[in-house]
Structure 1
Amino acid sequence: MNSWIITGGAGCGKSSVTELLAHHLLKNKDLVFSADRSAQELLDDPAIQEELLRSFGPSALTQQDGRRLADRGWLRAEVFSNPEKRRMLEQILHPGVLRALELMRESRFNAGANVFLAEVPLHYEIGGTVSADLIIVVAASPEVQKRRLMERRGLDESIIEQMLRAQWPIAAKVERADVVIWNDGDRNALEAQVLTLARQYWQA
């Protein structure tokens, strides 16, 4: 079974590439591992919330409809403005995310899958600890990254700048990639690149 990691910078279109690859290679996007989705699920885990409470204090949690939830907006502002707090959050979430990834990879292998797709935005930032046969970096110019993050996620410029500074530069990721998909253009240009990659896989 081939293991492919899709990574890149914020606002570069990693999720779009992953969705397209899943469509062409798996026919089912639910068979793709998403590190972001796994992290969101962990934030709803009461045990993780207790760790957040101990590490960040009561402001890390909020109440909604009688349920205790992680305050994602507050945590985002805290960790992207403070490298030490960002490392604290990573130490809480990353072990669980990596365990979930390996469990899904094992499940796909046992099911006889030919390819395992995993979207891991911080693949290089966490030291490339996830083994893979192919690393796909989705890249875009900083201007496009910022515009997309503003338009699609409603983030203000100060938070975006902090997010981008917290990640490896796109150029550094591109240098280490097996495959680079450049996503400054429109959807058609992106689909053409992904289809070319998928066809190469089929022919391999």
Structure 2
Amino acid sequence: MKLIGLTGAIGSGKSSVSALFARKGAVIIDGDGIAKQLQQKGSATLQKMVDEFGDVLLESGELDRAKVAQLVFGDSELLKKLNSIMHPAISAEIIRLIEENMDSDNVVVLDMPLLVENPREGLSGLVIVDVDPEVAISRLVQFRGMNEEDARRRMASQAKREDRLAVADRVIDNSGDIDALTTQVDEVWDWFATLPNAQQGAGALSKKSK
């Protein structure tokens, strides 16, 4: 199994790259998707969030994600509290999914927004999806309906662009069109074949991140 870390700033188009890898046959472990599953109505994780943050539920009993975002982005202490609830549960599920694939020939892509902030052991390679921050802000406003202030707060809560690029094994520039993106994904996919297999225990949070 090749275990590939995939990350990038919010608005970088990381999900588009992940989808292109999936079309090539990669197994995608989606950190955001896992988080949403853990936060489903009636879950223990959701109850912990209510206990910590108070009224963060919609009338349906589901999580009001917009309200949580307003609370934590721009407040580092509240963000730390949210991470302390979510990270252990997300990590446990990631480890389970990696172990399921450990003895396979699969390319497993660990698609996580905070992979630089929370590095993981034993990755075969780390791919960063990069775009100019102002382009990312524009995309968030245009395509996700965020207001600019909210988009900037969310970006500021993540690793700096230069810090991501400093640890990248490969960088995919997503400032162009889909054809340019696909060409780069093809090249990086071929590169995966040159990488070492992941070792037992790969995917655990790095000791330095604890």
Instruction: Give TM-score, length-normalised by structure 2.
Output: 0.87
Kindly state the Cα deviation for residue 108 of structure 1 after the two structures are TM-superposed: 1.5
User: Do 1:22 and 1:32's aligned partners in 2 also have CA atoms closer than 8 Å?
Assistant: yes
Residue range with higher mean Cα deviation, 157-166 or 37-46? 37-46
Identity, in percent, stands at: 28
Q: Which residue type is aligned with residue 153 of structure 1?
A: R
What's the counterpart of residue 113 of structure 1? 105
Deviations 1:11-42 (A, max 9, x none): 1011111111121243xxxx310000011111
Matched residue, 1:9: 9
Quick one: which amino acid aligns to residue 114 of structure 1? N
Flag structure 1 segments of 5+ consecutive residues without an equivalent: none
Q: Distance in 2 between matches of 1:60 and 1:160?
A: 20
**Contact persistence 2:8–2:130 (CA under 8 A):** yes
AA aligned to 1:148 is R
Structure 2 residue runs without a partner (length 5+): 196-210
More helix by share: 1
Equivalences, count: 194
The letter for the 2-side match of 1:190 is L
RMSD (CA atoms): 1.5
Residue deviations 1:70-121 (CA, integer Å, cap 9, x gap): 11010011110211111111111111111111111111124x2332111011
Q: Secondary structure at the match of 1:39?
A: helix
CA distance in 2, matches of 1:103, 1:16: 25
TM-score of the superposition, structure 1-length normalised? Answer: 0.90
The Cα of 1:193 is off from its aligned counterpart by 0.3
Deviation at 1:198, TM superposition (A): 1.3
Q: Distance in 1 between matches of 2:143 and 2:89?
A: 28
1:12-31 maps to which residues of 2 (within 5 A)? 12-26=12-26, 31=27
Give yes or no for contact 2:30–2:111 (8 Å, CA) kept in 1: yes
Q: 186, 190, 194: which is aligned to 2:177?
A: 186
Q: How does 1:1-204 map to 2 (within 5 A)?
A: 1-26=1-26, 31-44=27-40, 45-57=42-54, 59-64=55-60, 68-110=61-103, 112-126=104-118, 128-202=119-193
Preserved contact between residue 4 and residue 124 of structure 2 (Cα < 8 Å): yes
Partner secondary structure for residue 118 of structure 1? strand
